[in-house]
Amino acid sequence: MRIVFSGGGTGGHVYPALAIGEQCLSDQPRSEFLYIGTSSGLERDIVARSGLNMPFEAVEITGFRRKLASLDNVKTVMRFLRGVQRAKGILKQYRPDAVVGTGGYVCGPVLFAAARLGIPTLIHEQNALPGLTNRFLSRYVDTVAVSFRGTEGKFPQARRVVYTGNPRATSMVKADKAKGLASLGLPQDAQLVIVVGGSRGAKAINEAMIELAPLVKALPGTHFVFGTGQSYYDSTSARIVETAGALPDNLQVLPYIHNMPEVLAASKLIVNRAGASLMAEITALGIPSILIPSPNVTDNHQEHNARSLADEGGSVMLLEKDLSGSALFDQIHKIITDPLRWEHMAKQSARMGQRDSASLVVQELNRIVRKS
């Protein structure tokens, strides 16, 4: 099967596409792929590092401003129309069996062009609250796949909506816990708490961890691994040493956790933002979490993501306005020192996961291709 993937802006829009590609190759080893993204996002580098041997083409597009009368919106419409024409040219030359969109502005012109050309199309919505681009595309594509149960009704104009979960979950199932602990220099029976603020870090979480650092000594049997984000590392690690007097023996501060799947598989608890891919990863592994949704995202969608898991008991949601070092440590302490609570959260987290998500998406792709 020949598939074109499109998605960009953040890794959360790219990794699900790669997971679908991996599943396609597992099912049909002769599958071929092309990726269409933007030249300004993270997708070109992530795709190049994926090992899927996937050629990359760029289409330039930007999002709409909130002020409808903005001149920038007129420019965006013109970019969209030019993007559609460029996408049509790429698609006519590549002749894919299907086109898959996994979020981000670039999906707009690419999936719209594919639908207009009569190519089978599928979009995947990672968040509990759908984004503008996918809401627009839902009326044109063959199938909308959603990550959260109960969100099917948020696409009232779609021809077909199916629950598949997030394909990133499937990749996590293969993560090696032993390698994760070994990479940190920890014994195989270590009790691990991971604190990160996304791939780039989060200032609010870093500030809370600076305050929290002296408190980790109260949990000597627990090892904390804190990813600051590359740009925050020097200043944050220096302030932790200043606040705590010295770096506590059970706290490891890193600029970035490069092997996050393996480290996550080894963790007892994770503190993080509430991005859609992260949600898929932790529920696939059945890991309890403390989620601190970013308030600086479109339509506050991370809070909707976090609430969906917190309401089921798999997570504790801590809003950024309520975040402090003491408040965060209190929640960590309550979970780590209460085995029954931890076990319940782990069970509920796993219940929300969809480990075979990528396979479900590929099954739907096969269906729409056969139907065409």
Residue pLDDT tens, the chain, 372 long: 999 999 988 778 899 999 999 999 999 999 999 999 998 878 999 999 898 999 999 998 866 554 555 556 667 788 899 999 999 999 999 999 999 999 999 999 999 999 999 999 999 999 888 988 999 999 999 999 999 888 899 999 999 999 999 999 998 888 999 999 999 999 999 999 999 997 778 999 999 999 999 999 999 999 999 999 999 999 999 999 999 999 999 999 999 998 888 999 999 999 999 988 889 999 999 999 999 999 988 778 899 999 999 999 999 999 999 999 999 999 999 999 999 999 999 999 999 999 999 999 999 999 999 998
- Going from N- to C-terminal start, the domains of the chain cover 2-171+355-371, 174-352
* Alpha-carbon dihedral sign for residues 11, 172, 302, 36: positive
Instruction: Output the pLDDT for position 366.
Output: 97
Burial class from Cβ neighbours inside 10 Å (0-12, 13-18, 19+) for residue 188 reads exposed
Candidates 256, 214, 251, 219; CA nearest to 234 is 256
Partners of 270 in beta bridges: 194, 289
Instruction: Output the pLDDT for position 200.
Output: 78
Instruction: Output the pLDDT for position 70.
Output: 56
Annotated ligand binding at 199? The verdict is: yes
Q: Please state the CATH superfamily assignment of the domain spanning residues 2-171+355-371 in this structure.
A: Glycogen Phosphorylase B; (3.40.50.2000)
Sheet strand arrangement including 121-125: 56-58, 32-37, 2-6, 98-101, 121-125, 143-146, 161-163
Annotated ligand binding at 12? The verdict is: yes
209: its two tokens: 């961890």
Instruction: Output the pLDDT for position 78.
Output: 86
- Residue 290 CA to residue 339 CA, distance in Å, equals 16
Annotated ligand binding at 302? The verdict is: yes
Instruction: Output the pLDDT for position 190.
Output: 95
Annotated ligand binding at 53? The verdict is: no
> Taking the mean position of all CA atoms in its chain, how far away is CA 280?
7
Instruction: Output the pLDDT for position 63.
Output: 63
Annotated ligand binding at 104? The verdict is: no
Annotated ligand binding at 46? The verdict is: no
Q: What is the dihedral of CA 246, 247, 249, 253, to 10 degrees?
A: 180
**Is 174-352 a CATH 3.30.110.40 domain?**
no
Matching CATH topology for 2-171+355-371 and 174-352? Answer: yes
- The pTM of this model reads 0.83
